Structure formats: structure tokens, C-alpha cells
Amino acid sequence: MKRSSIIAHALLLFGFAGFYAAPAAALCVTPGEEGSWANVDANTRSIVRADVRFQCQDQILNGQPYPPGEPFYIKLYGACHPTACEWQEVGANNIAGGWKRGTIDQGFAKRDIRFKRLADGRLRVIIDTDFRDPRRRDYRSDELFNRR
């Protein structure tokens, strides 16, 4: 077999192999915010626990991230007695400065929730509460959490 023929066969073989290569897949790194967190203040009258969930969206389908939804989800637990009050899980997106942001509408109030993992490993959660009743005073909660 001539050398040029061998090279042509090799190029043909490698050329077709490229058509049948498995699709590339990106890997998502689990972000530091993901997990279950407990308030550093055991006697807080605010949020006692925060659970953060991450959804890897390493694919694009019809121009949108896949799977659909938000990349982060947070579920908060208020200080109630005898057990903590479970809030609904809310989706959150990345915003400036490494913060994640979501909004929850509880009917009587809208809450803007922002959270971020700090350099010291703690989770900071800021909640701005806007009451529907104009007679109630809006407020901000700024809490720190340790991983549970």
C-alpha cells in the first residue's frame, strides 16, 4: 500500500470518527452556599435555619438554561414555638457581588431575600419585608448562619 493511500485512509477514518464523538458536557461545581445552615444566634426571633439547593444548568435548550427554573433555591425557617415555621422554597438568581436573590410573596407581606457565602465560610441572609398593610412597619433582617 502506498504511503499516500495510508494517510488518506487514516484521515478518512479520523474524519468520520469526529462525526460520532459523544457530545461534550460541562461539569457543575457544587457552590459553597448549598447545604443546610443554622443561625449563629441560637436565641434568634427571626430565621433559625436556611436550606440552600443548587440546580446545575450546564446545558442550553432553545436558547434557555436547562433544566428550567432558577439556579438556586432557598427555604427559610422562622422562629416559631414549639417547632420552626417552614416558609415555601423560593428560586434565586445570581446578582452583583456574589449575592443570590429571590422574592417570596406570603400574602400579607412580600420579602426580598438575598444571600451570600462569606469568606469566613458563614452564610449571610438579608431579608427586606414589605407589609401590604400600610399600618405595619416594614423592616430588614440581617442574619448569619453556620453550616449544620
pLDDT band at 34 (very low <50, low <70, confident <90, very high): very high
129: confidence class by pLDDT, cuts 50, 70, 90: very high
**Which of residues 40 and 82 earns the better pLDDT score?**
40
Q: Tell me, what DSSP letter sits at residue 24?
A: P
CA nearest neighbour of 128 among 144, 139, 120? 139
pLDDT value for 40: 98
Q: Is residue 21 part of a domain?
A: no
User: Do 125 and 145 meet the contact criterion of CB atoms below 8 Å apart?
Assistant: yes
- Tell me, what CATH number does 129's domain have? 2.40.128
Tell me how many domains the chain contains. Answer: 1
Burial of residue 74 (number of CB atoms within 10 Å: 0-12, 13-18, 19+): buried
Whether residue 80 has pLDDT greater than 50: yes
Assess if residue 8 is contained within a domain: no
Q: Which amino acid, residue 51?
A: D
Full residue range of the structural domain in which residue 79 is found: 29-147
Instruction: Answer whether residue 66 is part of any domain.
Output: yes
Judge whether 120 lies within some domain: yes
Looking at the domain assignment, is residue 55 inside a domain? yes
